[in-house]
A and B are shown apart, each in its own frame.
Chain A
Amino acid sequence: MFRKNIIIKITIAFIITAFFSLQLNAQRWDVPSNKKAKNSYIKFDNNTAKSGEEVYTKNCKSCHGDVGKANGNKTLNPQPPDLSSTLTQELTDGELFYILNTGRNAMPNFKNTLSEEDRWKVISYIRSFNKKYVQVLSKTDPSKSKLVKINMNFNAATNKMNLSVVANEASGPVVLKDAEVMLFVSRYFGKLQIDKTIRTDKDGNATFNFPKDLPGDSIGNLTIVAKVSDEIYGEIESQTKLTIGVPTDKPSLTAKRAIWNVLKLAPWWIIITYTSIVLIVGLFLVLIVRNLFRISKIGAQQ
């Protein structure tokens, strides 16, 4: 009897533990070890926390709520945690940065919408709620990012875009090895990523497959944006205009007469209908007023 009870209890305990550990696993972030160790090149202080708060209010608050008040959006699944909680605070800066960069489920990624500086400032704001936190600064020197030059070469025969990344140090050119590179094309709303995020090879080169059918402006110009992220040199962004898109010359939506356009460019059918109705009603009213004068005149004559 006693033994049976024990077995049941152990089984129940096991099931519960298994269930909770599954739940926890579902919420845990799987962050690669090299990302986990990443640190901020910005020193966290009151000023960075303050500007981080502004970024937080605009981009994060609608789901996570006010930090420390646990008033996030309860309708989402999984629920966005309060960022002052231990669950969040025991993550490394690198892990937080990774979460911001990749996003998951309902959480969007902020890699392309917030600058690296702003992303670190948000983390600075989140850390300001943790009294025990001690910052480890990265060895990245953002002032050195100015030295880096990104060269873009497009091969029309193979449709490949080749990038070479070189830092012009005083001691001579240094190629950036194993740096993260992303390629984008500017569109109406934001940037469109081309191919995948890759790393430079030992010569500082990265090659992307470039699509043939991207619509450009009237002569086929595309604005190409390359983003390089390096341990030492930080984030570097470079833009060029290349005539490698499909020439597209669509008139603007407000160029022709349309219902949404200004009064001068109203559709003819509305102008004609409206004006003729007003004119017809007006004409009848004039006729009636004339009749009134006629009545008065007849009476005056007799």
Chain B
Amino acid sequence: MKAFLYGVALQWKLDLRNKGILITYYLVPLFFFLFVSTIFTSINPTSKDTLIESMTIFAISMGAFLGTPIPLVELYSGDIKKAYQVGGVPLWTGVINNFISAFIHLLITSLIIYIIAPIGYDAKLPEYPFRYFLFLAFFIITCISVGTLLGLYVKSVTKLTMYSQILFQPSLMLSGIMFPTDMLPKALEYVGYAFPATWGLKIFTSPNPKFLWFLPLIICFVTACIMGIYKLSRITKE
């Protein structure tokens, strides 16, 4: 247990030393939040109602899809894996440590948005904070599980950038973060349903979210877990 906890704390520290991670977890999402919030709230004052939710979903999608996989690709596709194997460090710790560390980082980013948005942009706070944070935790976990899957399956950082963008860009454009999805052509609106961000925004912004809206996220999380465990067992045996 001591080794595991040390590993989690160490991973969190290592993330803070990693420029790539800092950029995707904090720098770009928060800069985007400040920049876009300034524009959105002056063009369309009603955007204040969903500013916290949309910017949080953007930050989480970016961090989870672009940042979370980086340490995993470095760990599992290189010689570090062998060093862990012969050195008695279980390979699963890489995934779990990174998962926990990413969760804490993304929660901090979400909290920064939650605190700054009402002060800086007069954004409306979620009506039910407890429920909001419960949904937030669930959404972060789902997105990190997808990011983890990327980290386990992609074997180089160059390829990772491509695959991460394939997930992230549509999440940004088709989920309703930037503009309402009913403004999109029908085909693209349907494509948008394939991304967690679309369902996340629906759940966050609705006063009475339906269970059916959670289902895609649950399926996404369970599928990512199954595929991740399978891949990890393959990596261990390789």
**Are the chains A and B members of one assembly?**
no
* B residues whose Cβ falls under 8 Å from a Cβ of A: none
- The interface of chain A, by Cβ under 8 A from chain B, is none
